Amino acid sequence: MKAVLILLAIISVTFAAPFQWQLCPGSNHFQPSDVTLVPYPALPGRYATLHITGTLDDSVDGGAWTNTLYQNDVAIQTTNGNTCSLIANCPCSCPAGHRTIEKSFIIPSTLPAGTLTGRLEASFDNRRISGGRLICITYTFQVL
């Protein structure tokens, strides 16, 4: 029986729809070159981490972010915080350069297997800009 469950899990992972992402319309001060979700596919009741690697074109001294998960276009989870917590290994003041944005979130444990979408939006502040858009990205992923 355990072997059958393992085989079913392997088949589910093999045939899961690919992770997809796109930038929201408009300009961003963070230009992604690669976006991944780990683990993929995501698992109910477990954390998943969005890794966005790219180039930051200005310094970040503060700001705010919001990450919303949707199931069938209905918001099921929203989290938010300070933009300084998003940029890995670069506490504010974070200078321009090659950076990685990391956002971990828990997949609700009550979700059935299927497709979720997400939207991560982050603003930033520095000496010259207040409330500028750091990044806005939408992403689609599978939950087993």
Structure-block tokens of residue 21:
């992402």
Measured CA angle at 130 (ends 125, 132), to 5 deg? 80
**pLDDT, tens only, 20-68:** 999 999 999 999 999 999 999 999 999 999 999 999 999 999 999 999 9
pLDDT recorded at residue 71: 95
Q: What predicted TM-score, i.e. pTM, was given to this entire model? A: 0.86
Could you give phi then psi for residue 101, rounded to 5 degrees?
A: -95, 130
**Mean local confidence (pLDDT), 86-102:** 94
**Residue 129: what pLDDT?**
86
Rg (CA), the chain: 17
Q: How far is CA 102 from CA 119, 121, 143, in A?
A: 14, 13, 19
